[in-house]
């Protein structure tokens, strides 16, 4: 199961405190402005960081994520009532007509199952107005990011308000072709609890993603570099053609 930590209440509450630097979202905010988006669908919105940044700019936002515990965190944040939150994925959305659909922070890789991936591309296409765009990032497999997901390189210790000190680290448990499975361990100093969560990510080649997008009727306008992670990520800008 991909990203099971996002559905666990105790772990979903750690997502923001353990990853406070969200400068990765700046490029997406810039794209929302560049494309003049007034209505946005944020697929895999998690704890709602990006959805709430958009809503704070007066943009109408729908955030969808299968992890109910993450959505509970999102709903409880200031401005949470401004966003329409949907528990689920892009394969079963209500009728929408958005200018922009987004998948920030490697959501595309978390959609590891081929059926779910194609359903996500199909669902996003249906939710976009003609001329609307889907933008998302995915790590370049050639950079082999998972080789750095060791306890030594990923160990962190944070003081989380209301929770106490939490230690965490990643360890890769399996590499099976394009599928990388890793375990994240969390140790809570307050009660000694040790929780683990397993995630599987799919690393797709640039050509494969382009072909998948075109197969679902998108035009790939551009593949950009993530400004904060140059050379490591492909940022796809795909457009639903005008009717």
Ligand X SMILES: C[S@@+](CC[C@H](N)C(=O)[O-])C[C@H]1O[C@@H](n2cnc3c(N)ncnc32)[C@H](O)[C@@H]1O
Q: Please name the helix (run of DSSP H) or strand (run of DSSP E) that holds residue 72, with its range, or none.
A: helix 68-75
CA 190 to chain CA centroid, Å, is: 30
Query: Is residue 105 a contact point for ligand X (CB under 6 A)?
Result: yes
* Least distance in angstroms from the C-beta of 47 to ligand X: 6
CB-based contact 163:190 (threshold 8 Å): yes
C-alpha dist (Å) from residue 234 to 1, 9, 88, 227, 242? 24, 31, 26, 11, 24
Q: Tell whether residue 116 is a contact of ligand X (CB under 6 A).
A: yes
Q: Is 184 in the site for ligand X (CB under 6 A)?
A: no
**In this structure, are residues 180 and 201 in contact, taking their beta carbons and an 8 Å threshold?**
yes
Query: In terms of CB distance, is 139 or 240 closer to ligand X?
Result: 139
Distance CA 169, CA 96 (A): 39
> What is the size of the binding site for ligand X (CB under 6 A)?
23
Residue 110 C-beta: closest distance to ligand X, Å: 4
Query: Of 110, 121, 235, 238, which lies in the binding site for ligand X, with binding defined by CB under 6 A?
Result: 110
Establish if 70 lies at the interface with ligand X (CB under 6 A).
yes
Phi, psi dihedral angles at 38 (to 5 degrees): -110, -20
Q: How far is the CB of 165 from ligand X (least distance, A)?
A: 23
Q: Return the residue of 13, 14, 32, 43 that touches ligand X, per CB under 6 A.
A: 43
Which range, of 37-45, 164-172, 184-192, 220-228, touches ligand X by CB under 6 A?
37-45
């Amino acid at each position: 199961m991909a990203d099971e930590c996002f559905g666990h209440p105790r772990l979903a509450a750690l997502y923001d405190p353990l990853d406070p630097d969200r400068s990765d979202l700046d490029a997406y905010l810039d794209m929302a402005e560049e494309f003049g988006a007034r209505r946005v669908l944020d697929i895999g919105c998690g704890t709602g960081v990006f959805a709430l940044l958009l809503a704070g700019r007066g943009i109408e936002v729908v955030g969808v994520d299968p992890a109910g515990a993450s959505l509970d965190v999102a709903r409880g944040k200031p401005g949470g009532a401004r966003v329409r939150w949907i528990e689920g994925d892009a394969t079963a959305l209500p009728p929408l007509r958005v200018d922009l659909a987004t998948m920030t922070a490697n959501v595309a890789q978390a959609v590891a199952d081929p059926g779910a991936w194609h359903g996500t591309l199909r669902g996003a296409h249906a939710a976009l107005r003609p001329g609307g765009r889907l933008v998302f990032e995915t790590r370049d497999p050639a950079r082999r990011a998972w080789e750095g997901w060791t306890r030594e390189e990923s160990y962190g210790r944070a003081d989380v308000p209301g929770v106490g000190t939490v230690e965490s680290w990643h360890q890769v448990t399996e590499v099976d072709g394009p599928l990388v499975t890793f375990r994240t361990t969390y140790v809570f100093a307050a009660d000694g609890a040790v929780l683990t969560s397993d995630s599987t990510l799919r690393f797709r080649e640039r050509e494969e993603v382009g072909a998948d997008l075109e197969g679902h009727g998108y035009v790939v306008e551009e593949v950009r570099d993530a400004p904060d992670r140059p050379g490591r990520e492909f940022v796809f800008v795909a457009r639903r053609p005008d009717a």
